[in-house]
Structure 1
Amino acid sequence: MPLDALRPSPLVEQATERLREQITGGTWAVGTKLPGETTLAASLGVGRSTVREALRALVGAGLVRARQGAGVFVVATEPREDWAAQLRRAAITDVYEVRVLVEVEAACLAARRRTDDDIAALHEALAGRRAAADADDAAFVDADIALHTTVVAAAHNPVLTGLFGEFVPALRRGLLDLVAMLDLRATHPGHGDEGHAALVHAVVSGDAEAAGETLRNELGQTLALLHSL
């Protein structure tokens, strides 16, 4: 099936999408060698550099693979789901289980590595969470996540910080649902204040064991609630 020439700009995105359609639509089956860059460029009406960038995008999506000296071959007809998409689909219980693994270790590291600036930020974040007790659920959940983000940041590990950041959108959606479903703030608008204060105290005091244990207990209680639903 011939490929129609493309409209101007953004050419790489258009080229990527057109080639993706050929693969996912079955025109090029798994194991098929794609036409060369020159042929593809002529079919699409673009330069070879545009085709090269489009092929790189398809490699990243897990659809094709380049074999040294042999060419580019189709290895899948469905794009690989990226991490963000997986998190969007994940059950909140799954997110929370991984959250425990990430945050407990982050809290231990934070207690060992926190700086004066981190200490000030932690106190500010705790005060912000307490102030949000009088606000709506969304503001309270945001303040809660901000405090946990501050603890993770105090670990001074950019990989941990980045990983937690990836969890935040899915975590926020799950927490909002949980707060509304169980009406957790009906009698205690500042739900969990004692545990969060203990966490901040442990990190500020440099007590890694207490920080990890406090957070494990706090997250464990929420996880138990989720499993009971």
Structure 2
Amino acid sequence: MSLTTSHREPLAQEVTGKLRHAISSGLWAVNARIPSEQELMKELGVSRGTLREAIKSLAHAGMLEVLRGDGTYVRATSEIAGATQKLIGRYGNKHVVEVRLALDTQAARLAAHNATAAQKGEMRTLLADRRRAWDTNDTAGWVANDWAFHLAVARASANPLLAELYESFGNVFRTDLEAHSGGQGIGCPQEGHEDLLAAIEARDPDAAFETVAENLNE
């Protein structure tokens, strides 16, 4: 991806958009340090002041964090994710779980109506990978595939706002998965989402809702 500017809009706004795209596209990963000011000034062809204005804007949105004397780090993939992470710190785990229950159950209902054949195939693959991780005691792989399955369900809802909101909770949801994985091997059960996938494949929104609610209540 090129960060070259075109001057078709206010320069600081255009630079902000270029930096935002580098983050949202995955070019710069979450928790990674972005290139130095000198590198970005050269690539973008802009002044230090313009670049800092763009970085300040994304830092205010929670997407970047500037650590004096160290560098600037990616903290969220979108403004909504940055805002969510700031808000989560103000509330207790009970409130986070309640919000997750609302998002997960609605995503499951909508996915049962709207999931495509390709999306269902992706879910089946993720559950197979999740099972293999459980069998081999691969905690990191189990967490990654479990989270990816949840996110796939949210995206299959065909509601892009719901999917983006769900993804914005990614850090806290993954941390919760890691906490429940146990200190000695994977503490969570091998099963977990096969019933949900079966309900989605059967286009049964009520069954999808019930299996998610039961899973989260446990």
> TM-score by structure 2 length?
0.60
Contact 1:95 1:171 in 2 (8 A): no
Match of 1:154 in 2: 156
What amino acid is the match of 1:218?
A: N
* Structure 2 gaps, min length 5: 1-40, 42-46, 63-81
Query: Counterparts of 1:136 and 1:88 in 2: how far apart (Å)?
Result: 29
Note the C-alpha offset of 1:92.
3.9
Q: Encode CA deviations 1:196-227: one digit per residue, 9 max, x unaligned.
A: 11011000110100001110110111xxxxxx
Query: Counterparts of 2:170 and 2:200 in 1: how far apart (Å)?
Result: 21
Match of 1:208 in 2: 205
Q: Encode CA deviations 1:169-197: one digit per residue, 9 max, x unaligned.
A: 1111122123236x6835xxx6151x411
Provide the alpha-carbon RMSD of the alignment.
3.2
Query: Counterparts of 2:185 and 2:87 in 1: how far apart (Å)?
Result: 28
Structure 2 residue 162 is matched with structure 1 residue 165:
no
Partner SS for 1:191: coil
Structure 2 residue 11 is matched with structure 1 residue 11:
no
Greater Cα offset, 104-113 or 145-154: 145-154
Distance of aligned partners of 1:131 and 1:174 in 2 relative to their CA distance in 1, 3 Å threshold: same
| Aligned pairs (5 A) from 1:81-120 | 82-87=83-88, 90-120=91-121
| Aligned pairs (5 A) from 1:15-34 | none
Match of 2:27 in 1: none
Contact 2:111 2:156 in 1 (8 A): yes
Match of 2:189 in 1: 191
What amino acid is the match of 2:189?
A: H
Query: Counterparts of 1:167 and 1:215 in 2: how far apart (Å)?
Result: 17
Higher CA-based Rg: 1
Identity %: 28
Contact 2:139 2:185 in 1 (8 A): no
Match of 1:131 in 2: 132
Partner SS for 1:206: coil
Match of 2:123 in 1: 122
> TM-score by structure 1 length?
0.57
